[in-house]
Every structure is written in structure tokens, then in C-alpha cells.
Amino acid sequence: MAGPCNAGKTTLFNGLTGSNYKTVNYPGSTVSFSKGPAKRSLALDAVIEDTPGLNSLRGDSSDQKMALGKLSSRDSYDLMIAVVDATQLSRHLYLIDQLKEWAHDILLCVTMNDLLKSQGRQLDVQALSREMGVKAVAIDGRKKKGIRDLVEEIRRFLPQGETAIHKQGHPSKDQIRARYRKVEAIEDKVISPLPTGASGKWFNPDRLFLHPVLGGVIFIAIMFSVFSAIFWFATPFMNVIDSFFGMLIQGTKQLLPAIWVTDILADGVIAGIGSVVIFLPQIAILFLAMGYLEDTGYLARGAMVIDKPLSKIGLNGKSFVPLLSGFACAIPAIMAARTISSRKERLLTIFIIPLMSCSARLPVYVLLLSFITPREKPWIGGICMAGLYIGGIVAATVAATVASKLPAFRHGSGSLLLELPAYRKPQLKLVVSSAYHRSKQYLRKAGPTIVVISLALWTFTHLPLQGTAGEEGREYATVSQSYGSKIGKVLEPVMKPMGLDWRGGVAMMMGFAAREVFVSSMVLMYRVEETDDDEALRAGLLRRMQEVTFAGTDQKVYTFSSCLGLLFFFAIALQCFPTVVIAKTEIGSWKLPLIQLGIFTGTAYVGAVVIVQVLRAFGVA
């Protein structure tokens, strides 16, 4: 199956295969496509592949290039089903006319005929077949109308043996104009007005959604709703998952012998799996929201509305949703960048997403701001919190502006080329199915790597094991004598300029599993009495932070300057290995994720050191 973006190809694919398909990657790439046999009720012995959408035979993005490679491999399929939108016929026929010159066997499917009628127009399918020189079938993939007719045409269609592929060179402007005049003339011949009174009044929603003022207001409201869903609606589900894995860890320790294998299984393997699954609600909600907006036809409009301001920093309108999602979690945000067709802008968006202050940073911000904010002036903490989020946006803007000038981000088009799809009622079953398959893909592709890294990090901070299970303070003894703590003590001279002792350094290293782990690691390393009451636990940690001094001195570790430096560090540093893994999975290379890790973490460290030392130089402890 081939065709332009938003032509209804995926809907038709689901109608032909049902749920009996799987999402796989093209060989040697991260570009995915769907493939599966026709559903049994159709009695069609065929395997159907849904290739990524195309606008022409000159694809710029990686998914379009992969689709073109597949379509040009004539011996890999018997029949091409080309899908076009009846409401945008001439633009879509441009691609089909190109594909005809490749001498492929084509069956043309025309969708959105109901929307065409709502606009007061009708399509003559027979005339279209004559004018295009290929068999055309009108279908409605949502209501399953016309699919039986399509199947009958597929059965009757006999591939005409091996045909040569005549790849065309880059067309001249005159050739492009001539082709457009040709397909526009065909559209004029095959589409005509309906008889008077056959259609009702048709209101164009673009008058609102693309309005210079109202369009922006509506866009902000919709994006706020999506962000709220990712940030708040996912929280109860994440809490349930967190509690489940917590109970599973405790149950494992109680049922199995108190030996080191039990610790690795419970705190390493099970906890590692939990660190993958806990992001699933956010990812599923993101894909559901994006699928719903895309299915309505609004997503392309939203990209148009926000395109102009983002173009100033080398991005386009499609970058906004991933960047907004980054405030909830960088992992689904990076996955959302798949919608960006330009490789340059996709890489640039992925590059700056970690600078958005995700929800995992919130516990760290609350702890450190509570330490430095006067109790009688809590509003200062609120202003500082807002400043951290705004600071992340400013840092991302600066990073994008600078990075867009570098050679690595200069490849690909810097402009936004969008075709506005017709508005239509979303098909809930399709949206849910798509979200399910995308979420499953996250678990399959990124899950194993994240579990391995989490296990390695736990091993690094817990071996060699100390004492026996159940001893009071055993966890502290284990971590404080681990390989990680030994390295932390060696690196204390490096950590001290930014205001941390070796215990804080170990907590920071453990925080690379997830940023919020920093707080629980602080509780462990500074031996704060644990309690089920979160407020009491935080109050106990704050009291302990006021007492902690560097070994052998009376110099306090946590002061105004050191906490301010830590806030800067956590706002900028890419201190989350799962984010690095997802970036590698989506890009297909470790190069950019490791550059991100080095640049952001290095900048965060240098900035924290500068803040601490400058403040102390001016007499601020």
C-alpha cells in the first residue's frame, strides 16, 4: 500500500487486516511499517504492507526514503494499492502519475468520498479510471464500504510479469508544472457538483483553527489539555505500577532466601523492569492524544499555527508537541518526534528535549527549594520553580539556535511543507490500536536496554554486598562500601567545587537511573529514618541536610550556594540513562545521545561550579 500522507491508507490497511498485523522495522533502520495477512473474512490469500506516506518520489525524511526503496524493489511485491483522498484529488494524483512512470502494476483506491459529498461535490470513478489509465475503486475505510469491491478487484488483478522500472531523474520546473496541469485537468473532468439540494451547508473549521488570533488560543488550549493528560492523568496509573513493583520486590525478598542472588533479582532485575513499565501510561496517553488529533485532521493545523516562532530557532511546527511533552517525560517526547519529516529538525528536536524540565525533576526541585526558601515566604519558592521551567525553555532556545548552525544539523529542509487533511470523525478503534502497537514497540525496542543499564547501575552501587539480608542498616553499609561509593570518594575533589561530598556524589550517580531517585538516595546515604509519610520523610531529610558537614571539617555541605548550584545542575544535566537509550533507539546511533550526555552534563557541572564559587567569593555560603 502506498500513497500520500493522511489519505486514509492506514485506516484501509486496518480494514483489510483487522488486528492481525505487526509493526516491524525496515532492515537496517529504525523506520517502522505495518505488515500482516488479509483477515479471514475477506478470503483473500495476501500479505499486505503499509508503507510510510509520500508526497512525491523525492522523499527527504528517512521514512519516505525507506518507502521509496521498498516501492522501487519491483520483485518484492505483486501489486501496489495506491490510496488517494477524493477531497484533494489533484495533489494526490500527482504522486500516482509519477508511480505510473515506474511501470508498476497499480490499483487506485479513492477515499473520503463522504467528505467530498458533504462539500457538495461527487466523483465519477469510471471516468477517473479512464483518465488515469488504471483501475479505480471508491471506498470508505471507516465504514468498511467498498472494501469487498476492492478485494474482488485484487482477485481479478493478474500481475503482468516482471516489468522494468524506469526511474526518472529530477524533473524540471516545466515538467512539474505540466504534470500538475495534467492532474488538475483530470480532477475537473471526474469531479462535479451534486444536484441542487443534495448536500447541506458546509462550514470550513479552518476559519477558526487557522485564524490569526483564535487559532493560537485554540492551539494553546488543546496542547495544554494534552500536556495535562500526560502529566496528571498518567499519575494514578504510574502510582499503581510503582506500588505493584514495590510489592513484587518486597514479596520476592520475603519468599526467597536472603542471599545476594535474591537482591540482584529483586532490586536489580525486577526494579529495572519497573523502571521501563512505569513510563507506559505516559507513552500510551501521548500516542492516544496524538492519534486522536491526527485522525481529526487538526494536528497539521496546529503545526502551521506554531511554525513561525519555532522557525526562528531552526525548528518547525511539528516540533512543538514533542517539546511540550518533554515537560512530562523526555521518553515519550522523543518518541513523539517521529512525526517530524525533516531529519535535521527531528535530530534538533530530540537534541533539546532533555532541557525541558520533566516531572521526574520535580521532587528534586521541591527538596532543594524547600531548603533555601524562607518558611515565612513560600511564594519565593513558587517564583523560583517557575523560573526553573522558564530557564529550561530559554536554555533549549539557545541550544537549538547554536546547534542549528552546526554541520551535523544542516542536512534536510528547514521549511515546513504540509498538506492539510480533511476534517473527519476519529475512529476510536483505530486510534487505540495504533497507540497499543506503538506502546508495545517501546517496550520491545527500548525495554531490554533500559533493564540492562538499570541492572548494571544497581550492581555498580551495591557490589560487593555487605552483611546479611535483614540486618539493620545493611542497605547503607552495602552502598557505602560499594564500587560506586569508592569511586565517589575518589571523585570527591571533583564534586566538592559544586558543593557536594562523596555521599551526595553517590546519590547523584544513582540518580542516573532516574532523576527522582536522587531524593531517595539522599535518604539512604545520609541515613535518614525512613517512614511511609512523604512529608515527614522530606522534613527529616531537610533537617539532616542542615547538619551534614564535609568529613573532618565543620564546613556545611548543603548551603544556599550549593543548593542553587544543584538546581542548575538538575535543570540542565541529561541525568537519565533511559532518555539516552530512547534517543539511541529512535535515531539508530549512539553518537548524538552520547554528545547530548557529554554536552548537557558537562555544561551543568561547569555552571554549578561557577554558581557555587562565585557566590562564595561574594560571601554567600
Q: Is 540's pLDDT higher than 70?
A: yes
Q: Is 404's pLDDT higher than 50?
A: yes
Mean pLDDT to the nearest integer, 85-113:
84
Alpha-carbon span 168 to 176, nearest angstrom: 12
Q: Which grid coordinates belong to 249?
A: 520486590
Query: Per residue in 485-504, is it b (16+ CB within 10 Å) or e — as a string?
Result: bebbbeebeebbbbbbbbbb
What angle, 0 to 180 degrees and rounded to 10, lies between the N-to-C axes of helices 447-462 and 577-587?
Answer: 150
Q: Which grid coordinates belong to 233?
A: 492523568
Q: Which grid coordinates belong to 126?
A: 469510471
Sign of CA dihedral 299, 301, 304, 305: negative
Alpha-carbon span 541 to 543, nearest angstrom: 5
Q: Which range is most confident: 65-79, 271-285, 473-487, 489-503?
A: 489-503
The closest of 322, 292, 305 to 227, measured between CA atoms, is 322
Higher pLDDT pick, 495 / 291: 495
Provide CB contacts within 8 A for 32, sequence distance 6+: 23, 24, 25, 26, 441
Alpha-carbon span 365 to 519, nearest angstrom: 10
Least confident of 28-32, 202-206, 370-374, 400-404: 28-32
Q: Is 219's pLDDT higher than 90?
A: no
Q: Which grid coordinates belong to 547?
A: 547538619
Higher pLDDT pick, 181 / 194: 181
So where are the chain's domains?
9-202, 214-361+369-392+411-429, 442-617
pLDDT band at 213 (very low <50, low <70, confident <90, very high): confident
Alpha-carbon span 141 to 14, nearest angstrom: 8
Q: What is the pLDDT of residue 350?
A: 92
Q: Residue for cell digits 524547600?
A: 370
Q: Is 468's pLDDT higher than 70?
A: no
Taking CB atoms within 8 Å and a gap of at least 24, the contacts of 59-67 are: 60/341, 60/342, 60/343, 60/412, 60/413, 61/340, 61/341, 61/342, 61/343, 61/346, 61/412, 62/29, 62/30, 62/31, 62/343, 63/31, 63/341, 64/341, 66/26, 66/29, 66/31, 66/33, 67/2, 67/33
Percentage with pLDDT > 90 across the chain: 14
Q: Report the residue count for the chain.
A: 621
The pTM score is 0.65
Q: What is the pLDDT of residue 165?
A: 46
Mean pLDDT to the nearest integer, 142-162:
74
Q: What is the mean pLDDT of the chain?
A: 81
Q: Which grid coordinates belong to 200?
A: 447541506
Alpha-carbon span 321 to 326, nearest angstrom: 9
Using alpha carbons, list the distances in angstroms from residue 44 to 3, 16, 34, 139, 150.
Answer: 22, 9, 18, 17, 11
Percentage with pLDDT > 70 across the chain: 87
Alpha helices, H only, 404-465:
428-445, 447-462
Mean pLDDT to the nearest integer, 584-589:
86
Asked, as a colleague might, if the bond just before 464 is cis with ω within 30 of 0, I would say yes
pLDDT band at 569 (very low <50, low <70, confident <90, very high): very high
Q: What is the pLDDT of residue 577?
A: 84
Q: Which grid coordinates belong to 490?
A: 575518589
User: In which element (H, E) is residue 383 found?
Assistant: helix 378-403
Q: Is 164's pLDDT higher than 50?
A: no
**Per CATH, domain 9-202 is 3.30.420.40:** no
Alpha-carbon span 386 to 365, nearest angstrom: 11
Q: Which range is most confident: 262-276, 369-383, 495-509, 532-546?
A: 495-509
Q: What pLDDT digit, counting tens, does each position of 121-134 carry? A: 889 999 999 999 88
Q: What pLDDT digit, counting tens, does each position of 303-339 carry? A: 788 777 788 787 877 788 788 778 778 887 888 887 7
Q: What is the pLDDT of residue 136?
A: 92
Mean pLDDT to the nearest integer, 286-296:
82
The closest of 100, 105, 108 to 158, measured between CA atoms, is 105
Least confident of 155-169, 277-291, 405-419, 601-615: 155-169
Side-chain-side CA neighbours of residue 591 (13 Å): 5
- Name the region of 35 (left: φ>0; alpha: ψ -120 to 50; beta: rest): beta
Q: What is the pLDDT of residue 19?
A: 67
Q: What is the pLDDT of residue 90?
A: 85
Q: Is 192's pLDDT higher than 80?
A: yes
Provide CB contacts within 8 A for 602, sequence distance 6+: none
Least confident of 369-383, 467-481, 484-498: 467-481
Mean pLDDT to the nearest integer, 77-98:
88
For residue 138, the cross-strand partners are 110
Q: What is the pLDDT of residue 416?
A: 55
Report the SS3 class of residue 497.
helix
- Determine phi and psi for 415, rounding to 5 degrees: -105, 160
Q: What is the pLDDT of residue 611?
A: 95
Mean pLDDT to the nearest integer, 483-498:
87
Q: What pLDDT digit, counting tens, does each position of 418-430 carry? A: 667 777 778 788 7
Q: What is the pLDDT of residue 470?
A: 47
Higher pLDDT pick, 603 / 588: 603
Q: What is the pLDDT of residue 573?
A: 92
- What does DSSP assign to residue 24? E
Mean pLDDT to the nearest integer, 210-214:
86
Higher pLDDT pick, 247 / 408: 247
Alpha-carbon span 614 to 596, nearest angstrom: 26
Report the SS3 class of residue 484.
helix
Alpha-carbon span 458 to 453, nearest angstrom: 9
Q: Residue for cell digits 522530606?
A: 538
Q: Which grid coordinates belong to 136?
A: 479505480
Q: What is the pLDDT of residue 158?
A: 56
DSSP codes joined into one string, 302-367 = HHHHHHHHHHTTT--GGGHHHHHHTTT-HHHHHHHGGG---HHHHHHHHHHGGGS--GGGHHHHHH
Residue 572 burial by CB count (10 A; 0-12/13-18/19+): exposed, middle or buried? Answer: buried
